[in-house]
Amino acid sequence: MVSKIPTSSRAPSARLVAALALACALAACGRDEAPQAPAETAGDVGGGTSQQAAAQQQAADDAIAGLSAEELRTAASAAYQESRLYAPAGENAMEYYLALREKQAGDPAASSALIDLLPMSVIATEQSRDRGDYAEARRLLGLIERADAGHPALERLRASIDSAEQQTAQRAEQQKLTAEQEAQRTQQLERERAQQQQQQQAAAAQQLAQQQAAAEAAAREEAARQATAREEAAGRQAATPAPARTESPTPAPAPATPAPAAAAVQLRPLSTPAPRYPADALRSGTSGEVLVEFTVGADGAVSNARVVRADPPRIFDREALAAVRRWRFEPVPAPVTTRRTIGFAPTTN
């Protein structure tokens, strides 16, 4: 068993750090400048927050656009595990996965993660709208639309944000808020946003972790059930007596020796090349292991390889499967399904 390094200890590359710093600086500029443009009508308020949200999102997208697919995957995984699911702008898992899906269309990991993140993003949009943080509500609404343009909540959210924003603008016009009061309100919104999002994202991350653990447990139980069924079938086959030999004027051939049960076949490897170490994991010093299930055919070739468990998830899966598919064993009487744990540990010079 190889030692494990926590996923949170992975250090991002210099290029990734520079990109995230630029996104933070641009987003902060957008927040500082927003209160200086007071709205005069309900229509002006809607347009102002839309432009503010679009400007912040564009700044974040520009910074993220320069990252490679592997850098996006690493950043998304780190944000996911650190409960930065959809905020802050430019440094959250949802934006990284959107950029990864746009860079590599059909990426299964990105698509699966976005499906998991959409319900939390809808709730966060509603909460931002309810506390009057319309720029944040529109930014989250834009992320939902990018993730799923046909999401059933889009039109409802957009209409409710517009209505709430117009009512706020009308109240502001009536009350004639001073610049100092508006600045205090903006600061309070920022504090409430940070506190609420931190609590909600932590709870959502815990819920996702529980769902993943339950799915892995179900997969293990199913694999154990299938293994038990194969062993029982093999035992019944071995216990079945050979059919009686009928008398014949000519000598009958000796009865064939029954094939050994699949569970009793010993696999003898001929070639088991080691997996390639992912470049990003090697640079960050990340280690882990992958439990792979596969079938060895009668000719010794490997098929039906799949990941049963991976720690950390999605980092070493591809290379582990690629290595197992290249393995070769001595021919066997019948196909055999087995499991192997493949460890990944960076070597030190």
pLDDT at residue 334, rounded to an integer? 94
CATH of 268-349, one of 3.30.70.980, 3.30.2420.10, 3.40.1020.10, 1.10.645.10: 3.30.2420.10
pLDDT tens-digit readout, 179-229: 888 889 889 989 999 998 999 898 888 888 888 888 788 888 888 888 888
Q: In this model, does residue 262 exceed pLDDT 80?
A: no
Domain locations in the chain as residue ranges = 7-215, 268-349
CB atoms within 10 A of CB 45: 22
The percentage of residues in the chain with a pLDDT greater than 90, rounded to a whole number, is 55
Cα-atom radius of gyration of the chain, to the nearest Å? 29
Q: In this model, does residue 24 exceed pLDDT 60?
A: no
Q: What is the mean pLDDT of the chain?
A: 81
pLDDT band (50, 70, 90) for residue 346 = confident
pLDDT at residue 20, rounded to an integer? 42
Beta strand pairing call for 269-271 and 328-329: antiparallel
Q: In this model, does residue 340 exceed pLDDT 90?
A: yes
pLDDT at residue 31, rounded to an integer? 43
Q: In this model, does residue 8 exceed pLDDT 60?
A: no
CB atoms within 10 A of CB 299: 11
